[in-house]
Structure 1
Amino acid sequence: MINERELESGLTQVEAERRLKKYGANVLKQKKRVSPIKIFISQFNDFITWILIVATIISGFMGEKADAITILIIVIMNSILGFVQEFKTEKSLEALKEMASPTSKVIRDGKVKVINAGELVIGDVILLETGDKVPADCILLSTGNFMVDESLLTGESVGVEKDSGDKNNSLYMGTIVIKGKGRAKVVETGMKTEMGKIAGMLQDIEKERSPLKEKLASLGKVLVVMCIAICIVVTLTGVWRGQDKYEMFLVGVSLAVAAIPEGLAAIVTVALALGVSRMLKRNALIRKLPAVETLGCTSVICSDKTGTLTENRMTVKALYFNGRVHRIGKDILPENVLMKKAFTYCNDCNFDMKKADISGAVIGDPTEVALIKAFFKDIKTLNTFLGKARRTYDIPFDSDRKMMSVIMKEGSRKIGYVKGAPERVIRRCKYILDGSEVRIFTSDEKNKALKAVEKMSFDALRCIAGAYKDKEVVPGKSLEENLIFIGVAGIIDPPRKEAKDAVLKCKLAGIRPVMITGDHKNTAFAVGKELDICKHESEVITGEELDKLSDRQLAVKIQDISIFARVNPGHKLRIVKAFKAKGNIVAMTGDGVNDAPAVKEADIGICMGIAGTDVTKEASSMILLDDNFATIVSAVEEGRVIYDNIRKFIRYLLSCNLGEVLTMFLTSIFYLDTPLLPIQILMVNLATDGLPAIALGVDPPQGDIMRGKPRAKNESIFARGLSEKIIVRGALIGVCTVLAFVIGLYLGFGLKTSRTIALCTLIMSQLIHVFECRSENHSLFEINLFTNVYLLAAVATSITMVLCILYLPFLRGVFHTSALRISQWAIVLFFSGIIAFLNSLYLYFK
């Protein structure tokens, strides 16, 4: 059992840490992680690599020990590079999974804390409310109207009512709270829970397959077949011309290794993982990797208003009672005890009585915090006030009723208090409090109150009405009937400063920002106009008006709507479907349990990290850690950057590999000597395919990344002329390399030096081309070459490798190269740079 002190103050942090050591973490057993050794070994599990290893062994037996050792070293270096890529990706995704793990509200040392659910221990007192996932096996200690979805365990979809006062007070890990709120004591954790006994259910987010990665894997298979076919042709042609069979076999295998873009899908994963890490730094937690690709396609962002477009820093600015509006700070307010009671008792804030400052002592929903701060200036007075009554029953707020109700026992009397949307509360009021007199609430007075609310809403004030009931106060629906109207509080929530810039950025990027709120139409319009989301009232529609439209009518009208006011979560789902019906890629925000269907239906489901429920988090693709609209726009920008970077290194890899294949193919069909030896081909692969391609994956965004329209979701990765760029540039790399080789022979430099010129031309042309790949529309003259330090370092490393095999005697012997003179370097630089120069001139003047 748990005593009254523990119910209020929970365990101490010291005791919790002791129990965590004793019982272990509250987690289910996971599959064993892949060890670094297995990741490294897997790099060799490739058909082409095995052929190369066999070729190395044959070289050794035939006495070519230097070649054999060098080829083996290159294979190992390639494998190390692949290992580093994959290991970093695994680490990034493990960190992502850790960030996405569930949290829990727990009482420790008398304070409400949000901790990782894995840190819960037996004896902890936790707070649960609608939408929460139960983090461990518990028993209810206190509750009101509590219901749980246990279908995960029982298969029954009907909610199960729970009551702290009877035997039916057990809660199980993984089940969902679908109604009410309460406190519970943890009785079992981890594998000792009912869920742990049945099976582990932790989601392995890193196993999510990216559609783009799937497509590229398929493309890779096609390219493998094509490259092997060309390599066989090159090999057989050489043999037919009387060249050494063994040498041509090695040429064919080496060319296949260099030509096949085996790292394409892996680099996509690296780019996605690095992009996810960058998003995390900008407060956007990606739960599902495919969402990264879809983000760049987003054409509509449907965002909640409160806390996302606004600061969620509420302040009561006006109160309406006794038939007039009183402006706080301007008017002298008469005492209204019942209004103070309604907004204080009908409130779910938590209080830290140890803090003297009221601002830091009240913890909860910003609207409810603002209401308490409007009536109390210090925590001591608030504590005294709260001690005069005890809550015996409540009906929690829900988005359909738009109200919350409580029954308070004040001495021997029971009084009901209600707060909620003014039009809902006023409709249920039969009487009105006028000063100290209670009388019939006439239709004229109701209209007067509603007009006051409308006037306040035009000033961007969010209005909350209060009412009470002192007769026939019993639990149930009747609590919210025949109420006595007290008044209305007008609360201002200023727009975020960064939200206006984010809205402008959306519009420049061809993305339509849409506001969705439960607030009054006028309040929503005032905020929307200030943020430049809309200009005219005709762009605003209410949930009531929405209900009168058929799905077909809504799909037609939705193109002209920028703000949806007084809507419920059911409306959100219709809004998403209507936008999608018009061909839009929709991002939708949500936090409550009822938002989950709309969040799941959206192309990009976004959950609020601060206010979001566990159910909505699980339905979402992305979690906003700061609940900020600007973060959504930043994530969309990052999504575009990632997709652009993937196109960059695809362009680079495929054009370079095509150039390598054509170099060998052209010389074979024109009966020229082999321009590159097997070991030189492998050197090209090592110097150009690895580090530069990865560096392109982290290329910073171009300045105009958010100035173009969103791409179509089904757009091919080779769209917008990318395939033509790859073919043309690859062909030119091959032709220029062959020309440099032929000129070397023509000038009498000899076969060895001519091969060295061809080798350097092929490598240098690719290293120059990597800078061209940074932009599809701008020339080298317009790109700031120093903004990607990783690329500069990668190219510098590759050039150093080339200089080493040319000017270090030992390596020169291994790679069969010559030390080039300045005049020979002039040939290399001319043929490797001429195409880039002419292309840059064309783009610059275009």
Structure 2
Amino acid sequence: MIEENKTNDQFAQLPLDEFYQAVDSSPTGLNANQVQQQRSKYGPNVITATKTGNRLWKFFKNFTSLMAGLLWVSGFIAIFAKMPELGIAIWTVNIINGLFSYWQEDQAQKASDALKKMLPTQATVIRDGKSVQIDTADIVPGDLIVIAAGNSISADARIISSDSFQVDESALTGESDLRDKKATYHRGSGRFDEDNIIFAGTVASSGNAQAVALKTGMNTEFGKIARLTQSQTSKPSPLEIELNRLTRQLSMIAILIGISFFLTAVFIVHYPVVQSFIFALGMVVAFIPEGLLPTVTLSLAQGVQRMAKKHALVKNLNSVETLGETTVIASDKTGTLTQNQMTINHIWLPDQVYAVSGEGYVDNGQVLDQGQVVKPGQNPDLDLLMQAIALNNDTTVKPISQPGGQAQIVGTPTEAGLVILTEKYQLASATLKDANPRLKTLVFDSDRKRMSTINQASNGKLTLYTKGALDGILAISQSILVDGQVRAITTNDIQKIQAANELYAAQGLRALAIAVRDLPAETSQNLADCTIANTEKDLTFVGLTIMADPPRPEIYEAVKKAHQAQIRIIMVTGDGPITAKSIAVKIGLVSDQARVITGDELTAMSDENLRQAVKGEVIFARVAPEQKYRIVKANQANGEIVASTGDGVNDAPALKQADIGIAMGATGTDVAKDAADMILTDDNFASIIAAIEEGRTVYSNIQKFLLYILNSNVPEAFPSVLFLFSGGFIPLPLTVMQILTIDLGTDMLPALGLGSEKSEPGVMQQPPRSRSAHLLNKSIIWKAFGLYGLIASLISTAAYFFVNYAYGWPKHALASSGAIYAEATTITLAAIVFCQVAAAINARTKYTSVFKIGIFSNRHIITGLVFEIALISLIIYLPFLQSVFNTHALGLQEWLFLLAIPIPLILLEELRKWIVRKYYLKLNQN
């Protein structure tokens, strides 16, 4: 077992053999028994979340909103006024709403926890001498961890070996400077200054290392300070702010209407004060949308679930709605717009071109440089190139294990393409690596865009093998290999190489340059002194490998849909400008007139010039990931809502700055995933467009719910207006308990069904929503209050007078009590309910015919409507409920009238939508 009394600093100073003994480990890692013992003692390697807030308070806070407060007080006064049924009914509104809100919050938390389980962070460890990949939660003290650039460090550990290893410790120290880390001990002046100790919560920025875990979970330095940050509250999203604003507006409107009706009833109609208060209370209840917040939560949660099925995992519910506002997508090319499956089509040597497939690369029916395929040993220049790409390679490709499966790549797609090329060339890479062991690696970085290895042959010869971007390789090459001879590289050679590169780049192909350098034998004694600056120079250019990364098949339709939705897409790539533009034009991202800005040009541009540049068609090529941050900020300065993709450590600033940061789930680093708001499990651009469509749908569904709920407010209030303005001559056509029947009972399930409505046809043909737009807009107000609310008021009022007419009105006065009055109010109530049946169907679409999407296609709404009709039938016919809600049984004639109500309302709305579609069609044609 680990000597727990030792500090990290004490572990750092131990000689290596004593250290392995102190941590109960070895150079080959732990064995299975040791892992089991450590796991039993220390538990999982996780930061335990501190519970923020009392669970009981989390439950009761759902009953303490402004609307809830109004209803609690109203219910108490109703009971005090000797109307217990009304008081209980009002409190029931609160209880149901609060319970539902709490349930939704609890479900959202469970969904969030499930999301974390769906995306486990992986780590590579050596156990029993073998490299295995495990969840970071399974790391135990003593594990030998393999760390590469971009990995989050998940345990406090001592470095055993390292190569150009740097760590970002800002999460612990607050300092942004990268720290060089190595296997040798050196103690600085700060708390985390041991050179050979790394800490959980930090990030490997470059290089690679092997380290033995010392502390895990809450025992790490990060775990000790985690409790200080776990209680931080998140900033409310734009949607939350808008919903709070809407709730206050509707609540104040309801209160003002209630006060107005109370004063009018008392001082104009001279109604008794108690009855006037109860009457006004009904108005307040009628105008409060009790189900607004739970429906919004349900809509967001269902949006998250639908997105997950489309390979987009959203980490925050409110990010779903923000997606609907997106106006610009700053997207990587490789793996997002393309398949990230690099295939070597050609090998270009200064004196010969080879087509790997034997058929050449075919593009738009044109065969490019068919060349010839040769076997090993026929061309020494080709043999050297193949040797270089085999030895300068950290990727392995596991063969397909079952029919229809895919080969598993452990490494990068580019290197995987090179591995497959060597296999086609019948080169025994494993044997070659054994005969030429690697002594040192100069790791790839995004600034110089190349990687080098130093290998030693069996005869002692040392060779530097370098691969990378052509411009970077040519800049440090002083000679060229031609037909087995090395000579000085000339201007003509460079022009010939660049011309070949441009030929392939124009077809969307990518060139990877290969170069070598013989090193002095004594270099092996001074490997620590072999730096990038003094080693990567005076190279001999060998040739180019030409590879294709074809566009994803679905990208064409996705780009088309984005353009129809007036969303601009800006390609940001590390590829060369010619290749980048070729791909962008080919998939329809931009026109041939698009401007291409390179990383060097971007560095020289002022912020104002960049702001102007991103307003037009533009592609960014040969840019470093950290430059994407400036591109995102420039678009935001122009008022754009920006979604940005990324997968690397250097992408994190852009992902955090973007309104929606989108990380790659398959190839993304832990840092990118942590910084992002959304994670693509398939790294596919088409999934972004699908997620944006869902974001727009969620917002649209909230508005549909709002329209449906407010639609019933006018017919609920209209009978009271008749009562007031007639000076009490017209008895109340609708009682307060019957108003509650609509709000609490019949309206709820259909309203929730609207929250699950699928994307409406044409939702991606509309421009992105402005952030200044409000949920309650003029269109909703007009349709809810001025059109269908008024129509429903006239229909329900007509039904009230129809019953009175059947019993002798106007010869006799309108009934104010008894069976006739109960039947008149019952049909008024039922008429409003059947108007709401039509409203639920009409609200499903804004412009599209409901018959086109299928009138029965939303089973949640159909279930809600069946429940609505069943509930009103029970209230009408059950004796107990008749006494509570003052209802009376209706006859066949009345039911035929009620069943006929939705038909003309649906047809009228279909006519309106048809006119709107015709109007927009003509507008677009003009």
Q: TM-score, normalised by structure 1?
A: 0.91
The question of whether the paired residues in 1 share the 8 Å contact of 2:153 and 2:204 is answered with yes
1:733 corresponds to which of 768, 772, 792: 792
- In structure 1, how many angstroms separate the alpha carbons of the residues matched to 2:603 and 2:743? 62
Distance (Å, rounded) in 2 between the aligned partners of 1:325 and 1:295: 48
Q: How does 1:245-644 map to 2 (within 5 A)?
A: 245-330=273-358, 331-333=372-374, 334-335=379-380, 336-350=382-396, 360=407, 363-376=410-423, 381-411=428-458, 412-472=460-520, 474-476=529-531, 477-536=533-592, 538-547=594-603, 549-644=605-700
Partners of 2:824 and 2:707 in 1: CA distance: 28
Determine the structure 1 residue equivalent to 2:806.
747
Greater mean deviation of Cα atoms: 149-158 or 374-383: 374-383
Q: 1:271 to 1:62 in 2, by over 3 A?
A: closer
Candidates 105, 111, 115, aligned match of 1:86: 105
Alpha-carbon distance between aligned partners in 2 of 1:61 and 1:580, rounded to the nearest angstrom: 56
1:724 aligned residue = 782
Match of 2:227 in 1: 200
Corresponding residue for residue 14 of structure 2: none
How far apart, in 2, do the equivalents of 1:808 and 1:101 lie?
Answer: 55
**Residue-by-residue CA offset, 1:233-280 (whole Å, 9 max, x unaligned):** 334444554555544444433443342124423432332222122212
Q: In structure 2, what is the equivalent of residue 784 of structure 1?
A: 854
- In structure 2, the residue corresponding to 1:317 is in which secondary structure? strand
Asked whether 1:698 is paired with 2:756, we answer yes
1:10 is displaced (CA, Å) by 4.8
CA distance in 2 between counterparts of 1:669 and 1:139 reads 84
Classify the secondary structure of the residue corresponding to 2:756.
Answer: coil
CA–CA separation in structure 2 for the residues paired with 1:68 and 1:722: 31
- Measure, in 2, the Cα distance between the counterparts of 1:203 and 1:427: 50
Please tell me whether the aligned partners of residues 503 and 532 of structure 1 are also in contact (alpha carbons under 8 angstroms): yes
Asked if the contact 1:740–1:828 (Cα under 8 Å) also holds between the matched residues in 2, the reply is no
The answer to whether the aligner puts 1:818 opposite 2:894 as a matched pair is no
Distance 1:138 1:576 in 2: 36
* Superposed displacement of residue 792, structure 1: 0.9
In the alignment, structure 2 segments of 5+ residues that lack a partner are 1-18, 187-194, 359-371, 524-528, 808-818, 917-926
What's 1:186 paired with?
A: 213
Distance 1:750 1:733 in 2: 22
Tell me by how many angstroms 1:65 deviates.
6.5
CA deviation after TM superposition for structure 1 residue 378, in Å: 10
TM-superposed deviation, 1:802: 0.7
What's 1:26 paired with? Answer: 45
CA contact (8 A) 1:667 1:738 kept: no
The whole-number CA distance in structure 2 between the counterparts of 1:359 and 1:225 is: 61
- 1:395 Cα shift? 2.2
Q: Are residue 806 (structure 1) and residue 876 (structure 2) matched?
A: yes
What is the CA distance between 1:666 and its match in structure 2?
4.0
Q: Distance in 2 between matches of 1:106 and 1:515?
A: 36
Counterpart CA distance in 2 for 1:521 and 1:66 is 75
SS at match of 1:432: strand
Aligned to 1:142: 161
Q: Describe the shift of the 1:832–1:757 C-alpha distance in structure 2 as closer, same or farther (beyond 3 A).
A: farther
| Residue identity matched to 2:534 | S
Instruction: Measure, in 2, the Cα distance between the counterparts of 1:737 and 1:301.
Output: 50
Counterpart for residue 767 of structure 2: 709
Give, as a single letter, the amino acid of the residue that structure 1 aligns with 2:386. K
Runs of 5+ consecutive residues of structure 1 not aligned to the other structure: none
State which of 684, 687, 700 in structure 1 corresponds to 2:745.
687
1:633 shift after superposition: 1.1
Cα shift readout 1:708-751 (whole Å, capped 9, x = no counterpart)? 22222332334472332233133443444334323333433721
The answer as to whether partners of 2:642 and 2:658 remain within 8 angstroms in 1 is: yes
Count of residue pairs brought into register by the alignment: 846
Deviates more, 1:318-327 or 1:136-145: 318-327
After superposition, the C-alpha distances for 1:576-613 in whole angstroms (9 at most, x for unaligned) are 34444444333221222222233333332222122222
The counterpart of 2:139, out of the listed 103, 120, 124, is: 120
Higher mean C-alpha deviation, range 827-836 or range 223-232: 827-836
Per the TM alignment, residue 79 of structure 1 is displaced from its structure 2 partner at its CA by 4.4
3-state DSSP of counterpart to 2:177: coil
- Distance between the aligned counterparts of 2:75 and 2:615, measured in 1? 65
Distance 1:355 1:91 in 2: 36
Tell me the distance in 1 between the aligned counterparts of 2:262 and 2:604: 73
Is the contact between residue 213 and residue 269 of structure 1 (CA under 8 Å) also seen in structure 2? Answer: no
Aligned partners of 1:394 and 1:564: how far apart in 2? 30
SS at match of 2:766: coil
Q: What is the CA–CA distance in structure 2 between the aligned matches of 1:12 and 1:584, rounded to whole Å?
A: 54
Q: Which amino acid aligns with 2:281?
A: V
Deviations 1:603-659 (A, max 9, x none): 322221222223333332222111111111111111111111121112222333344
Q: 1:776 to 1:538 in 2, by over 3 A?
A: closer
> By how many angstroms is 1:569 displaced?
2.4
- Please say if residues 361 and 379 of structure 1, whose CA atoms lie closer than 8 Å, have aligned partners that are also in contact: no
Distance 2:212 2:427 in 1: 29
Q: Secondary structure at the match of 1:726?
A: helix
Read off the aligned partner of 1:339 and give its amino acid letter. Answer: L
Structure 1 residue 546: Cα displacement: 4.3
> What's the TM-score, normalizing by structure 2?
0.83
Q: CA deviation at 1:456?
A: 2.5
Deviations along 1:481-538, one digit per CA (max 9) or x if unpaired, are: 1112121111111211111111122222222233222223332233233312234265
Deviates more, 1:80-89 or 1:152-161: 80-89
State whether residues 391 and 432 of structure 2, in contact with CA within 8 Å, keep that contact through their aligned partners in structure 1: no
Asked whether the 8 Å contact 2:327–2:566 carries over to 1, the reply is yes
Q: Which of 911, 915, 922 is matched with 1:841 structurally?
A: 911
SS of the aligned residue for 2:763 comes to coil
What is the distance in 1 between the residues matched to 2:81 and 2:638?
68
* Paired residues of 1:433 and 1:485 also in contact (CA < 8 A): yes
Distance 1:121 1:417, change over 3 A: same
Structure 1 residues 445, 45: closer, same or farther in 2, change over 3 A?
Answer: same
Choose which of 711, 719, 723 in structure 2 pairs with 1:655.
Answer: 711
1:760 maps to 830
Amino acid at match of 1:460: G
Task: Supply the distance in 1 between the matched residues of 2:114 and 2:231 (Cα, whole angstroms).
Answer: 12
Q: CA deviation at 1:338?
A: 2.8
Using the alignment, how far apart are the partners of 2:587 and 2:136 within structure 1? 38
- 1:22 alignment partner AA: K
Determine the C-alpha separation between the residues in 2 that align with 1:155 and 1:532.
Answer: 44
Q: Root-mean-square deviation (CA), in Å?
A: 3.5
Indicate how the Cα distance of structure 1 residues 11 and 746 shifts in structure 2: closer, same or farther if over 3 A, else same. farther
